[in-house]
Amino acid sequence: MAEIDLLRGLPRTKRNIQKRKDGKDPAVVAISKQYGEMYFDGPRDYGYGGYRYDGRWVPVARDIVTHFNLKPGMRVLDVGCGKGFLVKDLLQVCPGLEVFGLDISLYALMHCEPEVIGRIHLGTAERLPFPDGSFDCVLSLNTVHNFPRPRAIKVMQEIQRLSGGRAFVQVDSYHTPEQKEIFESWVLTAEFYDYPDGWKTLFDEAGYTGDYYWTIIE
């Protein structure tokens, strides 16, 4: 298990923290947690503010292929794949790689990239519908924190079950009280979050042996 930043190739996202904080109320949060059109393609107050493919995941896909030494014919699963942008870019970066995705959002899957039609599935990360050890690599980026802690442990156990530890997860975290305050002003969907040591304790409880990193909002 190693801490490694596999998303370092992503461009920095500009966030209006104060505007999000001022606009956030229980109704907004409830709509966001439906993971529907408002979350992906509605106003920024509800989520992404328009979730469209722009190629930004290509360098991330390259780093993932290199880190896990992925080859054509190997099987990769992206848990919480959204519209399948990373699935698409992994297919592009490593032709012949067998890449699949899973997401709880029917809206996201119905608006996926054409290249990934038939490769992404509707389901929950708590019950991944695949046999033990059926993937050479399992990824989950900014998804596990959307479950309460006991269920997040189950998600990590499922990722471990499918991957045998050849996996990478990235979750919401912070290093200082100031970062925690900024995060809590911004977050809409996270159910469990903690300092890195708290996350590492959760990983240990789940028996997770893969790699990990943190999304820090600044």
In a domain, 42, yes or no: no
In a domain, 26, yes or no: no
The parts of the chain modelled with pLDDT lower than 50 are none
pLDDT for the residue numbered 143: 97
* Residue 128 lies in domain: 55-215
Q: Distance (Å, rounded) from C-alpha 31 to C-alpha 197?
A: 31
**pTM across the whole model:** 0.94
In a domain, 85, yes or no: yes
Nearest to residue 54, comparing CAs of 89, 16, 103, 80?
89
Q: For 202, left (φ over 0), alpha (ψ -120 to 50), or beta?
A: alpha
Read off the pLDDT of residues 19-50 as tens digits, 9 standing for 90 and up. 777 677 899 999 999 999 999 999 998 999 99
Domain count, the chain: 1
In a domain, 40, yes or no: no
Which CATH number do you get for residue 108?
3.40.50.150
pLDDT for the residue numbered 22: 67
pLDDT for the residue numbered 11: 83
Q: Distance (Å, rounded) from C-alpha 75 to C-alpha 152?
A: 24
In a domain, 33, yes or no: no
In a domain, 149, yes or no: yes
Q: Distance (Å, rounded) from C-alpha 205 to C-alpha 200?
A: 9
pLDDT for the residue numbered 17: 77
